Amino acid sequence: MPGQHDHHVVIVGGGFAGLWATRALGRAPVCVTLIDRANHHLFQPLLYQVATAGLSSPDIAAPLRHILRHQANVEVRMAAAEQIQPLQKNLRLDDGDTIAYDTLVLATGVTHTYFGHDEWAPHAPGLKTLDDALHLRRRLLLAFERAESETDPQRRAAWLSFAIVGGGPTGVELAGTLAEIARHTLRREFRHIDPASAQVRLIEAGPRVLAGFPEALSEKARAQLQRLGVEVVTGTAVDDITAEGYRLGGEFVPARTVVWAAGVAASSLARSLGVALDRAGRVPVSADLTVPGHPEIFIAGDLATLMQNGRPVPGVAPAAKQMGRHVGRTIAARLAGQPVAPFRYRDYGNLATIGRMAAVVDLHGLRFSGLLAWWFWLAAHIFFLIGFRNRIVVLLNWFMAYWSYQRAARIIVGHRADDSRDDIEPG
Ligand SMILES: Cc1cc2nc3c(=O)[nH]c(=O)nc-3n(C[C@H](O)[C@H](O)[C@H](O)COP(=O)(O)OP(=O)(O)OC[C@H]3O[C@@H](n4cnc5c(N)ncnc54)[C@H](O)[C@@H]3O)c2cc1C
């Protein structure tokens, strides 16, 4: 255990909430153990760029050990937490070890859910981790390769039929970028297919895409998507997904690539807390972000559910960072015997990109879309990336892509013989 302090803070999850909590404890008289099942902090907002071959994994992720190398009171441990024992104040890890804590910070985030249809998962992968992004990239790029070598026109059309389920920011970003790849990036590269003939469909069960944005911006987003060649379907839910396609409104649509960008389910670790959770499995927290009845356990980021001004604090990166920072400061203040204010979420606005040179921005009162919004989105994402190297690499990549439409990471790894492992069976 690092440092000479007695008070042991265990933080589970090195995402935005966990990392910001760790940093906020930099000068506190505590020793911190940061546990994550991955060895890196991941900038999830740019994950879709890895999935669509615009960026490589190291451009949007950095090793936690490296980020925290100068913070002497922290030890980083790569392991998955399996069970919390709140009465014993300890935590069981997947490597068999048990770790005792004085204060616990849970920041394990959320993942996607198939609304009770887990059998859809192999046919409609989601996007949450770097592994997910690389798997998706392979599937998207392979679909064009398969279409090129397919002679049967119907089966070829199924390889060129792409559906993205879920019209939130991730679905919109994926659909817009995929349409751009089909229309521009792959132009003139194939001999038997016209990639521009690919059908890219974005399916949203609710009445509009980007439901978290004002209605006028949702409409702008829809129009920008359609200009890019995306077919936007709203108000209809997908009712089945198989290896061959999906069923929408009672009609079966052949499609070899379906991507899942809907639903939120909390990390299962929270169940072992033994407290009531919300429907998505998130933990309702008090105003100081502790679990009611457990002042020594904090929840931060997407895993926490908290109402403020009659609305839930949203599951976005700025909220996770603010919660993490607040938790770190609260722990330090408590040990110093100082009073702590309740957590207040500061909402600075909402951004979403749609594709090359198209985005929507809502800064509460200042709303805009199109090219200006895209530049704003780009600057914000470069600014918030962790690591100087990442900022430079991403900036250069985007300038190249801007001028040439090319995407830097279009390499398919693995052999065709391995494809069945990725559930892409030959047609
Ligand atoms: C594809 C995608 C795009 C997004 N785009 C945006 C965007 O444009 N703007 C925005 O503001 N927000 C965006 N978000 C949401 C944003 O990324 C989340 O709100 C934010 O990451 C939440 O931070 P967190 O720390 O709570 O969880 P996470 O960042 O998810 O971190 C959780 C960490 O916990 C670790 N972990 C999980 N379970 C365990 C375990 N049992 N043991 C050990 N470690 C564990 C994980 O490895 C991970 O490092 C996006 C999310 C996704 C998935």
- Which residue, by CA, sits nearest to atom 8 of ligand 1? 45
Calculate how far, in angstroms, residue 337's C-alpha sits from the geometric centre of ligand 1.
Answer: 32
Give the rounded distance of the alpha carbon of 213 from its chain centre: 18
Calculate how far, in angstroms, residue 191's C-alpha sits from the geometric centre of ligand 1.
Answer: 41
Site to substitute for ligand 1 among 95, 298, 316, 360, most atoms within 8 A of C-beta: 316
Measured over the CA atoms of residue 88, residue 92, residue 97 and residue 99, the dihedral's sign is negative
Calculate how far, in angstroms, residue 352's C-alpha sits from the geometric centre of ligand 1.
Answer: 17
CA 88/CA 292 separation, integer angstroms: 17
Calculate how far, in angstroms, residue 15's C-alpha sits from the geometric centre of ligand 1.
Answer: 6
- Which residue, by CA, sits nearest to atom 52 of ligand 1? 44
Which residue did the predictor score with more confidence, 305 or 424?
305
**β 103-106/8-12 pair status:** parallel
Query: Active-site residue 150, yes or no?
Result: no
Calculate how far, in angstroms, residue 44's C-alpha sits from the geometric centre of ligand 1.
Answer: 6
Atom of ligand 1 nearest to the CA of 324: 25
Site to substitute for ligand 1 among 108, 285, 347, 348, most atoms within 8 A of C-beta: 108
Helix (H, G, I), strand (E, B) or coil at 77: strand
pLDDT, one tens digit per residue, over 305-359 is: 999 999 999 999 999 999 999 999 999 999 999 999 999 999 999 999 998 788 9
- Which residue, by CA, sits nearest to atom 29 of ligand 1? 15
Residues of the chain with pLDDT > 70, as a percent, come to: 96
pLDDT, one tens digit per residue, over 128-176 is: 999 999 999 999 999 999 999 999 999 999 999 999 999 999 999 999 9
pLDDT, one tens digit per residue, over 33-80 is: 999 999 999 999 999 999 999 999 999 999 999 999 999 999 999 999
- Which residue, by CA, sits nearest to atom 33 of ligand 1? 13
Residue 382 burial (C-beta neighbours within 10 Å; 0-12, 13-18, 19+): middle
**Closest CA relative to residue 180, chosen from 49, 79, 268:** 49
Calculate how far, in angstroms, residue 238's C-alpha sits from the geometric centre of ligand 1.
Answer: 26
Q: How much is the pTM?
A: 0.93
- Which residue, by CA, sits nearest to atom 5 of ligand 1? 45
> E strands, 38-109, where?
40-42, 61-63, 74-78, 81-85, 90-93, 98-100, 103-106
103 within 8 A of 7, measured Cβ to Cβ: yes
Find the helix or strand (DSSP H, E) in which 206 lies: none
Atom of ligand 1 nearest to the CA of 80: 42
> E strands, 17-140, where?
31-36, 40-42, 61-63, 74-78, 81-85, 90-93, 98-100, 103-106, 110-111
- Which residue, by CA, sits nearest to atom 44 of ligand 1? 36
Catalytic residue among 145, 150, 173, 296: 173
Confidence of residue 3 (pLDDT cuts 50, 70, 90): low
**pLDDT given at position 407:** 81
**Closest CA relative to residue 59, chosen from 406, 393, 395, 397:** 393
- Which residue, by CA, sits nearest to atom 4 of ligand 1? 45
Helix (H, G, I), strand (E, B) or coil at 412: coil
Confidence of residue 396 (pLDDT cuts 50, 70, 90): confident
Give the residue carrying structure tokens 């003139």.
Answer: 188
Calculate how far, in angstroms, residue 53's C-alpha sits from the geometric centre of ligand 1.
Answer: 20
Pocket of ligand 1 (CB under 6 A): 12-18, 35-38, 44-45, 47-48, 80-81, 107-109, 127-128, 169-170, 267, 269, 301-303, 315-318, 320
Atom of ligand 1 nearest to the CA of 303: 26
